[in-house]
Chain A
Amino acid sequence: MKLIQYLSYACLVTVLVAPVLYFSDVLTKDVMKSSLLAGTILWFITATLSAKKGE
């Protein structure tokens, strides 16, 4: 339960950090876009699971 929650937070952090890293020339645009997509998909999975467990 805790793990899923931490994972969901990590996904949000990915969505936040990837564009900043792209802005700082650390990531390429393609990698940034892929990171955002991965973070998005994982966020919806983990947040849904987390919410269901919470219920």
Chain B
Amino acid sequence: MNTDAIEVPLTGEVQEFEREPVPASHQKGWKSFLGMYAGEHAAGTEFVIGPLFLTAGVSAFDLLVGLFLGNLMAVLSWRYLTAAIGTDVRLTLYYQLEKICGRNLVTAYNLANGILFCFLAGAMITVSATAVGVPFDMAMPKLTDTMPSGITWVLVVVAIGAVISIVAARGYDTVSRFANIASPWMVLVFLACGVVALKGLGVTSFSDFWNIFGEGGEPFPGQIKYTFWHVLMWSWFCNAAMHIGMSDLSVFRYARHPRAGWTTAAGMYVGHYMAWICACLMYALYIRTGEAQALLASGVAPTVAPGPLAYDVVGIAGLICVVVAGWTTANPTIYRAGLAFQAIAPKYSTVKVTLIAGAIATTAGLFPAFAMKLLDFVAVYGFILAPIGAIIVFDHYLANRVGIIQNYAEKVHSNFNVSVLLAWLASMAIFYSISIYQGVFLSFLTLPAWLFCGVLYLVLSKLLQKKDLTQTHGQTFLLR
């Protein structure tokens, strides 16, 4: 799960051009994006996502082919939507959005973004806690747990959350540099976990490997069954906020050519394919143990605790990897959440808003539900933020064709484009209701909600823009 590519300064250079197009002199070749994407998608949450697929009873074909195609769709979305628009407008998501919907609505987006970041960082703190708790013989949260599992859990989570928050507030750059150093090592430790797990599973051929998952099985207690389509759609849209949601406009505005969008494949196939499958193999090894079988026999889902899983397979290096992976990804996530909040309350210092975001994330981390239900949470995360990207895509490609004013808020000096708000809220309300009341898997509805939001935005703009102009501005805007 990537959070790094979002909208906020990773380096001093990214802080520039926040309200102007990136000039040609500062554009970068595809190699600059390759390492970034490869590293950023091997995060702490990968340790949880892989095993969770197994708890959903996936078959070998569903997992291997579904993930391959889902990741391919994500790469294509980045290449042909995000990178294409990013290299065209060369603006940050926030500034592009402000041009279309006005400053006040960007604030609402910031709020949603900030809160979701906090919960995501909370899940990463939970992941790290499962590793830090190993030496203390801490009771690990069960798959169905929602509440803290004991006082040791609370103390460990609070300690990790406090350290991460303070470091995010005070030493963001140091951790960012540390994350860059850790990144290639982390990818190799993920691979090591997979190789060692294969040995433990007695795999000597591809057919042995295939048979680990075989035809799939019943989902574990409290989980739903994932088919090929669940895996494909989920893996496509787990980063929906970044590709079809357009968050990575801020990244690709620096690309010389939209072809740089292909570099996201490094992130997808290293982090969201290799790392997930390796984590899945670790869990497959664990559920063959007597302890896990006893739990399953009694109708309880075996624990998904990345710390003990990695420790059993590769020892202390695995524990370090879980802590580092959780820490290095929670750190920028909390920092970014802080910046999102700061945009709403600019009078607060960066340190203060980052600490507030850290406190919210730590509180969320106390409740294992965010990590144990990560597949559901990530689906919700993408579902909420993706439709905003539809507004940008439809405005960029179709505004002139349907005869509405592109970048409307900027042109009429509006702080609030009601068409955007209505389209966003209606798409979320309608499709989320369908998911809840009809029991439809949420990732199946991300694309329909995205398309609906874009179309509704065009329709509402067609109706409301004219009224606005004649009533309030009396100006004529030439449509290109």
Interface residues of chain B: helix, strand, loop or mixed (majority): helix
Contact indicator B315/A33 (Cβ below 8 Å)? yes
- Bound CA–CA A43/B318 (angstroms): 14
- Bound CA–CA A34/B317 (angstroms): 8
- Bound CA–CA A19/B315 (angstroms): 12
Interface residues of chain A: helix, strand, loop or mixed (majority): helix
Contact indicator A40/B185 (Cβ below 8 Å)? yes
Taking CB atoms, residues of chain A closer than 8 Å to B111 are none
- A16 touching B181 in the complex, CB below 8 Å, given contacts A32-B196, A37-B315: no
Contact indicator B184/A23 (Cβ below 8 Å)? no
- Bound CA–CA A48/B177 (angstroms): 9
Chain A CB within 8 A of B314 CB: yes
- Bound CA–CA A15/B185 (angstroms): 8
Whole-angstrom distance from the CB of B96 to the nearest CB of chain A?
Answer: 34
Contact indicator B320/A40 (Cβ below 8 Å)? yes
Taking CB atoms, residues of chain A closer than 8 Å to B314 are 19, 32-33, 36
Whole-angstrom distance from the CB of B202 to the nearest CB of chain A?
Answer: 11
Whole-angstrom distance from the CB of A30 to the nearest CB of chain B?
Answer: 8
Q: List residues of chain A with CB under 8 Å of any chain B CB.
A: 12, 15-16, 18-20, 22-23, 29, 32-34, 36-37, 39-40, 43-44, 47-48, 51
7 nearest A-B pairs in the assembled complex, by CB-CB distance:
A33-B315, A36-B317, A19-B195, A19-B192, A15-B188, A40-B317, A47-B181
Q: List residues of chain B with CB under 8 Å of any chain A CB.
A: 177, 180-182, 184-185, 188-189, 191-192, 195-196, 198-199, 314-318, 320-321
A/B interface sample: 11 pairs, CB < 8 A: A15-B192, A16-B191, A19-B191, A19-B192, A29-B196, A34-B315, A36-B189, A37-B315, A37-B317, A40-B321, A51-B181
